[in-house]
Amino acid sequence: MGWNVGVLCIKADINEVDNILDIFYKSEVGLCFEEITSVSMGKALGVGHTESWILIVDTLGRFIRDSRFTIELSHKFKLKMFWIAEALIYRDYYFDNIKKGGIKFELKGKSDGLRYLNDMGVKAIDNWGETIIFQIIEKEIFDKCNHNFDTSLMNLRYAKYELD
């Protein structure tokens, strides 16, 4: 079984989460990556953060399938979105001095992902879509080039946000 998990990354302070996810409430804290990527999450979201990124993990892929929310949010924040799956997707959104809002570019599939890693000087660990997108996340969000099967997503702790 493949991953099929969405990760929406928002360049913002963690205190912005309640404003961004206004129809959700925090129900649990201290969860690990395996817990928040489980189908037992149902309609809930997992939320973690780094020093500069809020990471929203969605097992239902709502942000991938319907881009209205992310397009609107990209007018206020820098966004990157990842679909961890064999048919990987990576979207980067406009947010600079010239333009705010909208999809700047999108990678779809293993061949796009492999080409992207190569262009970034990162050697692909293997040809699996999930591994490729994990390596892209490492480069784009954590500014690391992992050469093994680790992901920094596993080192974070997450909060569970459920629908109000």
Contact 37, 3 (CB under 8 A): yes
Give residue 62's identity as a one-letter amino acid code. Answer: R
Q: At what angle do helices 129-141 and 109-119 cross, to 10 degrees?
A: 40
pLDDT of residue 121: 92
Give residue-wise pLDDT tens across range 26-43: 999 999 999 999 989 999
Start-to-end C-alpha separation, the chain: 31
CA distance 64 to 70: 9
Which residues does the chain have with pLDDT short of 50?
Answer: 1
Q: Supply the pTM of this predicted model.
A: 0.94
pLDDT of residue 52: 93
> Hey, which bits of 96-154 come out as E strands?
100-108
pLDDT of residue 150: 77
What are 107's strand-pairing partners? Answer: 90
What pLDDT is stored for residue 164 in this prediction?
85
Strand order in the sheet with 53-58: 24-31, 158-163, 45-49, 53-58, 5-11, 78-84, 89-95, 100-108
DSSP code string of 75-108: TTSEEEEEEESTT-EEEEEEESSS-EEEEEEEEE
pLDDT score of 1: 46
